Structure 1
Amino acid sequence: MLAAGKRMRQAENIQCDTVIAGAGVAGLVTALELLEHGQTVYLVDRDTSERIGGLARWAFGGMALSGTRQQRQMNIPDDSTLLLRDWYSFAEFAEDDLWPKAWAKEYAEHNNEKVYRWLTHLGLKFLPAVNWVERGLFVPGNSVPRYHVLWGTGRELVETIMVKLAPYIRQGKLDIFYRHKVVRPINDEGAVVGVEVENEQSKAVFSINATHVVIACGGINGSSERVKQNWNVPWEEVPETLLNGANPISDGLLHDEVEALGARVTHVDKMWNYAAGIAHPQAEFEGHGLSLIPCKSALWLDHLGKRIGPQPLVTGFDTHYLCQQVARQSKPWTWQVLNWTIAAKELAVSGAEHNPSIRDKKIFCFLKEILFGNHRLVEELAEQCEDFICADTLDDLTHKMNLLTKESYIDSADLAREITLYDQRTVDTRLQNDEQLRRIHHARQWKPDRLRTRKPGPILSAGTGKRDKLIAIRLKLISRKSLGGVQTNLSSQVLDRQGEPIVGLYCVGEAAGFGGGGANGVRSLEGTFLSACILTARNAAAAIIGSKHR
């Protein structure tokens, strides 16, 4: 990656056209669009140069897109009308959600032009297979497959943008202040005219004067305390243990300052967390977690080893529901029990870090893992993660599960009965009267999912080889994205409590709740985050550029 440096300046002389608080993908896209139209831009980011791009750098790179070439090649009938219908169904907007609804419509109508075609124009490519995620459970979700994965993951997106930004850095049009944070916007008689900045190493404070200020600081879910404060009441009490899958520097403090300026911050109780978190083997901070894409063919059990129900938990249909059910358990962990064969076929970890074949664009390695199973990942987690247990026998597995929780919650005979009952239902396809099996069969009807979902079969086996090993994975809720945020109009202008734009102030990406302070409503169709960062950023840049000509 190109290392972007900042030129040292006298604090009292720092002046630019636009200053952007945050160098995640929303901030980077905003900067690129403005620089291409002749502006001078300062980016202020709390992280190091190696981590520029924020969570997008580590993201898997999935995006919900419609009307794409990949969809046409797979004969998927999709358009903006269908996408908006699915979005409204999953979002369950309130009647007064004016701007979230407006941004949902904006996304549905312009994701192809402003996101998909923009990315392909940059030279980025998507995998040819379109995945079908968040299909819906009690309310309809994605009625067709529309989850597109970037070839190269989110890292390729960030590095491609950085290559585009490099000439502007050399020309002095762009400065990036690393390890600095925007403390607050500067208000001058109702207009925002710059920002107050703190050097997080020296603690020196200075101001940057600018005609336009863009808030791109990410969400608030990096702060476990904020997550607990904003916890959705219908989900019962906050779990004792909650893993953090965001970045601790996304702490919500800048949201507070923007709100103090008169802006509306809405829907902070709405979050896109995940139900299948495990401890990060190389944790960088306390509570650091990884988000698994859990196996459809695994049994999802409570702390006693009982199958959670009556509706069994199966991924790929309604993540919001999975989180609700896990949050309602009497202990802050659940279990998935499976075997090695299932894990090699189905298990995945969300993000670029644990998908090197896609991240590094190694096509033969990728195809090998798809066709023969990702044994590398299973072995890696078995060796490195304390929450990942392997055993040759069910008695041994039960013993290790109880050792991990330091309490004999699970009885081996009870666990055997749960698994055996399920296994018996997998034997005769005519008699598979089980909701989990029905959902597995439904998933396998779509070819890309069939490649990643095992044909129903027993978990317990009489064999003694590696493929017959039993696996138990201890899972915890993991915080990820904030669905709420600073309320904005379709120009990404920050709105005050009367619904009027605050002059000079814009907000993009997760900081804006991916548009309007909560464009996803209660649920995301999945893949609406990276793409919404690009959409809100491009709208902000267009408005800023347009304002110069008015």
Structure 2
Amino acid sequence: MNSVHHSAPGPDLIVIGSGVAGLAAAVEAAEAGLTVQVLEAADTVGGASAMSGAACFLVDTPLQRSRGIIDSVDLALADWERMGGPTADLEWARRYATDSAREVYQWCADLGIEWHALDQPEGNSVPRWHLPVGWGRRIVEVVEARARELGVTIRTGITAEEVCLSQSQVTGVRTRSAGVAETLPTSSVVVCTGGFIGSKEQVLKHAPQLRELPRILAGGSPTAVGLGHGLLEASGAQFTHLDHIWVYPYGTPDPSDASGARGLGIRGVSTEIWLNAEGRRFHDESLRGGYSGTKGLLAQPGCTAWLVLPAAEADQILLIDNEYYGTPEGPNPEAMKRFWVESPYVSAGDGPQALARAAGLPEEAVVHAISELNAAIRSGAATDPLTGRSLVGLHEVTGDLLAVQLFPMAQKNLGGVRTGPGCEVLTPSGDAVAGLYAAGEVAGMAGGHINGRAALEGTMFGPCVYSGRVAGRTVARRTQ
């Protein structure tokens, strides 16, 4: 039988969720002298942040300047608006772009994070996609260590079931752990529980346009099932643009998931071509993000395609969204062996003709598509005559080949709970719920919908760090 425990006087702040937004909020509040407790429903700290590549869209950083890259807030904001469209929150976007070098880049660097790579994904006028050593897991580790150093209590395996309110003011959090219910008193709560992208049911509920697809996979963290959305809805919060779902084109079903709902993202391929059900190439494969990559995939018969690569490059592949297969340190060799054998969406063959037969694709078309690309590579051409893709550094697609069938995969929530400039949770009337704040993906990364309908790569993890810090500072300022 469940028991109920009423706790002693609680902390100044309770943070629900231990991803990077929650940990950043905890650090800010603790540095200002507040007592802070972080509650995490899972048994481990980090959530989706620990699984993330953690690449960040950052503007005018020391790394950019050291490489002669000239960037500016206005240039970045123009790119942001062009990608996100009319639903992008440009006020939050301008704040983030203006502060990103200090609030994300330098803050992480001061905690011991090294930013070691720059890239220019689709939609960016200059390289501003910064990759940290150790990816998201390393950032979670150093921010968690700082939080503990400051005296923050972090509890895992404890679920927040209700934010307690009295006369529209936060008074505590009702929790459950190992069957024991406990009410923790506090005057301030920051909800940082991530999105609902791990629940296919929630994705289709809030984004009905995705129901029209023949198949959509659920990516992201398997623990991202909308816990915080339920807490906030019960607290009277306003939500915005929940139908804005960021979908990647390189998902394939996870063979370890019996339901068939969960997907794995495929990263790390250096030589790949995408073939549709007719055996034809249809897209510049280097643009494999959620913008033109997904548009290209969804325009194909059945909204599916096959990623073809030389079998010799299979050990380079990293499967994301299930850490059984690999972490930022690299793939798990034994798990990857099982994937290649157990996935019914993987085909193998010695050469294009055998691969086409194994995958059930038209042989003549597949042979032609691969031969055409190989001829361009052999000729020394700088670009692919079919798609304009750069051929520099690519090898011919020859020998034993592998094909992995691709499906669209929901990866991020771009909409969420609407918040004010200090991350205070707003009601439908525009009023703030006293003592209640939200940051990170539950708040559409920041504000409710900072990105709009589409996102420049790197505009997820960075704004989560930023909004977490803003929320923690706001609580500290209003508590003292």
TM-score, normalised via structure 1 length: 0.78
Work out the percentage of aligned pairs sharing the same amino acid: 26
1:114-513 matched pairs, under 5 angstroms? 114-127=103-116, 129-133=117-121, 135=122, 141-168=123-150, 173-199=151-177, 201-202=178-179, 204-231=180-207, 233=209, 237-240=212-215, 242-280=216-254, 287-293=261-267, 295=269, 297-308=271-282, 312-316=283-287, 319-331=290-302, 333-340=304-311, 349-350=319-320, 359=329, 382=340, 386-402=344-360, 410-428=361-379, 434-436=385-387, 438-440=388-390, 454-455=393-394, 458-459=396-397, 461=398, 468-513=399-444
Summarize the Cα distance change of 1:282–1:14 in structure 2 as closer, same or farther, 3 Å threshold.
Answer: farther
How far apart are the structure 2 equivalents of 1:160 and 1:338? 36
Gaps of 5+ in 1: 1-7, 136-140, 361-368, 370-374, 403-409, 445-453, 462-467
1:39 to 34, 40, 50: 34
Would the alpha carbon gap of residues 548 and 284 (structure 1) be closer, same or farther in structure 2, given more than 3 Å must change?
Answer: farther
**Within 2, Cα distance between the matches of 1:440 and 1:433?**
6
- Whether contact under 8 Å (2:263, 2:321) holds in the other structure is no
Contact 1:151 1:359 in 2 (8 A): no
Give the strand-richer structure, 1 or 2.
Answer: 2
Q: Is the 8 A contact 1:182 1:198 kept in 2?
A: yes
Aligned amino acid, residue 322 of structure 1: G
Check the 8 A contact 1:216/1:509 in 2, yes or no: yes
CA distance in 1, matches of 2:322, 2:270: 21
Letter in 2 for 1:484: G
Asked if the contact 1:277–1:477 (Cα under 8 Å) also holds between the matched residues in 2, the reply is: yes
Residue identity in the other structure for 1:419: I
From the superposition, tell whether residues 238 and 194 of structure 1 become closer, same or farther in structure 2 (CA, over 3 Å).
farther
Alpha-carbon offset, residue 476 of structure 1? 1.9
**Deviations, residues 304-333 of structure 1 (Å, cap 9, x unaligned):** 42333xxx2424375223223433544353
Q: Alpha carbons of 1:379 and 1:10: their partners in 2 closer, same or farther (altered >3 Å)?
A: closer
CA RMSD of aligned residues (A): 3.2
- The residue that corresponds to 2:16 in the other structure is 21
Q: Which amino acid aligns with 1:195?
A: V
The unaligned stretches of length 5 or more in structure 2 are none
SS at match of 2:144: helix
Secondary structure in 2 aligned to 1:15?
Answer: coil
Shift of residue 469, structure 1, vs aligned partner = 1.9
- CA displacement at 1:244 relative to structure 2: 2.6
SS in 2 for 1:66: coil
**1:377–1:320: structure 2 CA closer, same or farther, 3 Å change rule?**
farther
Q: Which moved more, 1:60-69 or 1:511-520?
A: 60-69
Asked whether the 8 Å contact 1:277–1:475 carries over to 2, the reply is yes
CA displacement, residues 222-242 of structure 1 (integer Å, 9 cap, x when unaligned): 111011122363x671333x3
- Do 1:219 and 1:511's aligned partners in 2 also have CA atoms closer than 8 Å? yes
Which residue among 450, 453, 471 is the counterpart of 1:519? 450
Q: Deviations over 1:100-139 (max 9, x none)?
A: 2221111110001111111111111111x31121x2xxxx
In structure 2, the residue matched to 1:372 is none
Q: How far is 1:485 from its partner? A: 0.4
Give CA-to-partner distance per residue, 1:440-491, whole Å, 9 cap, x none: 25xx5xxxxxxxxx34x643x4xxxxxx222212112222111100111221
The letter of the residue matching 1:153 is W
Alignment size in residue pairs: 477
Letter of the 2:30 counterpart? L
Tell me the secondary structure at the aligned position of residue 470 of structure 1: strand
**For residues 272 and 279 of structure 1, do their structure 2 counterparts lie closer, same or farther at Cα, with a shift above 3 Å needed?**
same
> For residues 384 and 132 of structure 1, do their structure 2 counterparts lie closer, same or farther at Cα, with a shift above 3 Å needed?
farther
Q: How big is the shift at 1:22?
A: 0.9
